[in-house]
Amino acid sequence: MGGWVEGDPVGDRLFLDLPAFAPERGGELPSVRVAYETWGTLAPDGGNAVLVEHALTGDSHVVGATGPGHPTAGWWEGIVGPGRPLDTDRWFVVCANVLGGCQGTTGPSSTAPDGARWGSRFPEVTVGDQVRVEVALADALGIGRWACVVGGSMGGMRALEWAVALPERVGSLFFLASGASASADQIGTQTTQQAAIRADARWAGGDYPADAPPVDGLGVARRIAHLTYRSALELDARFGSRVQEDGRFAVASYLDHHATKLAARFDAGSYVVLTEAMNSWDVGRGRGGVEAALARVTARTVVAGIDSDRLYPPALQQRVADALDVPLQLIRSPYGHDGFLVEVDEVGGLLAGLLAG
C-alpha cells in the first residue's frame, strides 16, 4: 500500500545520492536520493539527451511493462522507444521521480536520519527546488545541455522552469497542458483534495505508519482530481446517469476504481507535498512577473494544449505562447486534461516536429 520504499524490488530504476539540500522555503534534507530511468545511449558529447518530466502521480517509468517494482505500466507508452517520437536509436531519454515523490526519490515516506519516516517533518518544496535536484542529476550524468525538455501538467511546470532558470542548458522546450503560474481554480481544487486527506483520521498530522495510511482521504482526493482530469462531455458520453446492477452509478464506480488504484501505489504525504508545490508555482516570482521571466527563454519551443481541458484550459498555454511569440498548438480531444496522455499520435507528432527542427 502506498509508494515504493527501500527494500521493494528496484525494477528499472537507477539511483543517485546527493549531499545535503536546502529547499528555498526553509529546512534541510541531509541527503537526497533521486530515482530515475534512462532509455537509449548518451552520445560522447552528451548532446542527444532529452529530459521527460512526469505529472503529479507519475514517476520515472515513462514506458515499460508492469512487474516487480512497477505496479503500473509506463504512463506515456508510444512516445519513447525505437522509431517513436523520442526515438531511442537517436536520443538518450531521462526521466526522474520528482523531489517529494514516492517512487524512489526522497519524499515524506522516505526514511529520515533517525530511522523514522520523514512524515510531517518533510520540508516544503517548490518547483524550483525540484529542478535544482534535476540539475544535479544532469551534472552527474554528464549532460551540460538538454537537447529537449518535455513536460505536461505538473511536468510542464518543471520544463518551463528549466527553460527560464537555465536557458543555456535547454535547446528546445515542449510545454504541454500546463501554465506559467497556478490559478485560483487549481489552488482551490488542490487544497480541497488536501483537506480530504487531512480529514482522514489515519492522517495523524502526516505521521501515519506505513501499514496504516490514510487511504480513504487519498481516495476522495483522487476522485476530486479525476473529475478535473476528464471532460464533462466524455464522462456523460461514457456513463451518463446509468446505474449498475450493484446499485451504484457507473461514474461513481469508475471513480472508485481510480481511487483504489492510486491508494495502492501512491503516498498521501507525497500527494500533499506535490500539490503544495503546484499551488506555489509561479515562474515569474522573483523575476519581475511571468512575461519578464518568459523573456529569458532561448529554447525553440512548442506550446500545446487540449481544447477540452478544464483544469489547465488553453488560455493558460496561450499566455505562454504569446510571450514566446510561437503559435499555440491546440489538440482536439474529448478527454479533457488527460488528453495530453491519451492523444499520443497528436502529441507525438508535435514532439517529433520540434526535434526535427
Instruction: Give catalytic residue positions.
Output: 153, 309, 337
Nearest to 313 by CA among 184, 215, 161, 138: 184
Task: Let me know: does 278 contact 190? Beta carbons within 8 Å.
Answer: yes
d(CA 217, CA 201) in angstroms, rounded, equals: 9
Q: What is the DSSP string of 178-241?
A: --SB--HHHHHHHHHHHHHHHHSGGGGGG---TTS--HHHHHHHHHHHHHHHS-HHHHHHHTTT
Which H helix or E strand runs over 14? strand 14-18
Pairing state of beta strands 148-152 and 92-96? unpaired
d(CA 355, CA 173) in angstroms, rounded, equals: 10
Q: Within 13 Å, how many C-alpha atoms sit on residue 200's CB side?
A: 22
> Per the structure block, which three cell numbers stand in for 175?
510545454
Q: What angle do CA 282, 288, 293 make, to 5 degrees?
A: 60
